[in-house]
């Protein structure tokens, strides 16, 4: 169901929007958590380490392709707020063309460089082959998952979070079922986990396409709207490319950090992978509010309600501060250790690595909250260059720590926090400048419109 986010309480709209997305993400989290348990139980603990070693490279190629396409939902959200329905259809058509090209090129290039990059990442020899097998199959899943990435963002841009919710439940349930088939019924090892993801992605994309055809008539385009437009593609790339670069640069820093962690052996790699299972829950909590805020701001900026968009940013920041505090209390209570035991039993060394890594990361949650919220605000204003600079700051911080403290695992755990501190300071300076500039533009435009309207009235009155 399409939802207008330009009317009503900003806090209530953002919260309800985010909670629906949170349910969808939590379902996926539970399914992925179950998948990891199955890999640990039916393959071996090294398989978890192999997944962790491959994750930065997989994230990098996803960000280079899918994050670049995220500009599509921002543009369509702005057009929806401005009631430009014909423009939405034309943008949708050109978005399809752009998606096919970007995903096709990214898939081919990723397959070519997969093994050399994993080797260059200093992946432990006992994990390398498993990481390569898993990564290749996940890369092959990119084209079949493209409709899910594209349409889920578009549904949310139009205020519909319920459709992505129930489709994600179908997708997640299918992931567990397929993984059970390929890990237990037909024990294919780590390849089975990747095949389960591929089959689930295909199922989700098919469902999305069916629902899009039946419900999302606002974005259905005919022959007239289907014409290729260089101007539209340029606009999509103008927003999307910097977002893709920002995400990719950030992930490149994580990749460099993973190289340094890999040098400490499979036990450390597995420990960091385990803490990531809980840290990913924190990313979900911060991420759903960032996405809700992005949709809210895009529609309101399109409707030229800048002050309302800024109000949403302020309230979302307070909400994320509270959420970060909850996750920090959970970690300080050491409850996370019981979660790790479900994966690796009583392996004290792995559990200690995981707990230390998580505690270091989540202690800097205020910086994470500021990063997510102010970054979303800048994205919705169309100010994309600062997001690239954020990625550069994170990259410099992670590489610096990785190079100078490569032999000190505890110091490596501070690479991420140092990156968040740097970007949050940068955004604290830049966001007020950009938002106030956009507000002045809106006020100037309103004054010009009022002056033109008054002039028309005066001319009509003089003719009487």
Q: What is the pLDDT of residue 210?
A: 92
DSSP symbols for 356-391: HHHHHHHTTHHHHHHHHHHHHHHHHTT--HHHHHHH
Buried b (16+ CB within 10 A) or exposed e, 228-242: ebeebbebbbebbeb
| The token pair that represents 35 in the structure block | 């998948």
| The token pair that represents 446 in the structure block | 């309103």
Euclidean distance between CA atoms 442 and 431, whole angstroms: 17
Q: Which of 90, 157, 431 is nearest to 299 (CA)?
A: 157
Q: What is the pLDDT of residue 321?
A: 86
Residue with tokens 């459709």: 163
User: How many Cβ atoms from other residues are within 10 Å of residue 183's Cβ?
Assistant: 24
Q: How many CA atoms within 13 Å lie on the side-chain side of 187?
A: 8
User: How many Cβ atoms from other residues are within 10 Å of residue 413's Cβ?
Assistant: 22
Burial of residue 207 (number of CB atoms within 10 Å: 0-12, 13-18, 19+): buried
Q: Which helix (H) or strand (E) holds 333?
A: none
pLDDT tens, residue order, the chain (464 aa): 566 778 888 888 888 888 887 877 777 777 667 767 777 667 776 777 777 778 778 877 877 777 667 778 878 887 887 788 888 899 889 988 988 888 888 889 989 988 898 888 778 788 888 888 888 998 888 888 888 888 888 887 787 878 887 888 888 788 888 888 888 888 888 888 888 888 888 998 999 999 888 888 888 888 888 888 888 888 888 877 777 777 777 777 777 787 788 888 878 888 887 787 778 777 888 888 888 888 888 788 777 788 888 888 888 988 888 888 887 777 777 777 777 776 667 777 888 888 888 888 888 888 888 888 888 888 777 776 777 788 888 888 888 888 888 888 888 888 888 988 998 999 888 888 887 777 677 666 666 666 666 666 666 666 65
Q: Which residues contact 267 (CB under 8 A, 6 or more apart)?
A: 349, 350, 353
Residue with tokens 């096709």: 104
Q: What is the pLDDT of residue 206?
A: 92
Q: How many CA atoms within 13 Å lie on the side-chain side of 149?
A: 22
Euclidean distance between CA atoms 345 and 343, whole angstroms: 6
| The token pair that represents 180 in the structure block | 């059970």
User: Domain residue spans in the chain?
Assistant: 10-462
Q: Which of 272, 215, 362 is nearest to 51 (CA)?
A: 272
User: How many Cβ atoms from other residues are within 10 Å of residue 165's Cβ?
Assistant: 18
Q: What is the pLDDT of residue 186?
A: 84
């Amino acid at each position: 169901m399409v939802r207008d986010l330009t009317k009503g309480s900003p806090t209530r709209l953002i919260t309800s929007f985010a909670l629906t997305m949170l349910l969808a993400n939590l379902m996926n989290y539970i399914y992925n958590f179950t998948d990891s348990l199955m890999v640990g139980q039916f393959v071996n603990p090294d398989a978890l380490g192999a997944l962790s070693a491959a994750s930065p490279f997989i994230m990098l190629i996803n960000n280079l392709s899918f994050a670049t396409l995220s500009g599509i939902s921002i543009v369509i959200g702005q057009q929806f707020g401005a009631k430009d329905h014909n423009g939405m259809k034309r943008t949708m058509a050109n978005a399809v063309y752009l998606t096919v090209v970007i995903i096709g090129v990214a898939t081919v290039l990723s397959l070519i460089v997969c093994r050399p990059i994993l080797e260059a990442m200093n992946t432990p020899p006992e994990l390398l082959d498993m990481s390569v097998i898993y990564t290749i199959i996940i890369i092959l899943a990119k084209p079949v998952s493209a409709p899910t990435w594209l349409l889920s963002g578009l549904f949310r841009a139009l205020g519909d979070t319920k459709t992505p919710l129930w489709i994600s439940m179908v997708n997640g349930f299918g992931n567990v079922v397929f993984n059970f088939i390929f890990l237990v019924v037909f024990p294919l090892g780590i390849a089975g986990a990747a095949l389960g993801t591929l089959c689930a992605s295909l199922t989700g994309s098919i469902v999305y396409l069916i629902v899009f055809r039946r419900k999302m008539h606002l974005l259905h385009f005919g022959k007239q709207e289907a014409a290729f437009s260089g101007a539209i593609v340029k606009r999509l790339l103008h927003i999307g490319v910097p977002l893709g670069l920002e995400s990719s640069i950030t992930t490149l820093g994580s990749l460099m950090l993973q190289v340094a962690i890999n040098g400490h052996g499979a036990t450390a790699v597995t420990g960091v992978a385990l803490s990531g299972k809980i840290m990913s829950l924190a990313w979900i909590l911060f991420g759903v509010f960032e996405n809700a805020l992005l949709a809210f701001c895009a529609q309101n900026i399109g409707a030229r309600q800048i002050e309302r968009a800024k109000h949403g940013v302020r309230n979302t920041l307070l909400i994320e501060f509270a959420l970060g505090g909850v996750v920090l209390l959970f970690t300080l209570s050491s409850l996370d250790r019981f979660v790790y035991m479900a994966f690796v039993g009583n392996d004290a060394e792995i559990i200690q690595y995981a707990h230390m890594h998580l505690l270091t990361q989540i202690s800097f949650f205020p910086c994470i909250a500021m990063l997510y919220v102010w970054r979303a605000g800048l994205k919705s204003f169309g100010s994309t260059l600062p997001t690239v600079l954020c990625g550069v700051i994170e990259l410099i911080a992670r590489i610096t720590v990785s190079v100078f403290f490569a032999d000190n695992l505890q110091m490596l755990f501070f690479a991420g926090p140092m990156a968040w501190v740097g970007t949050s300071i940068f955004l604290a300076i830049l966001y007020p400048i950009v938002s106030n500039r956009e507000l002045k533009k809106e006020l100037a435009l309103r004054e010009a419109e009022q002056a033109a309207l008054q002039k028309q009235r005066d001319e009509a009155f003089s003719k009487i």
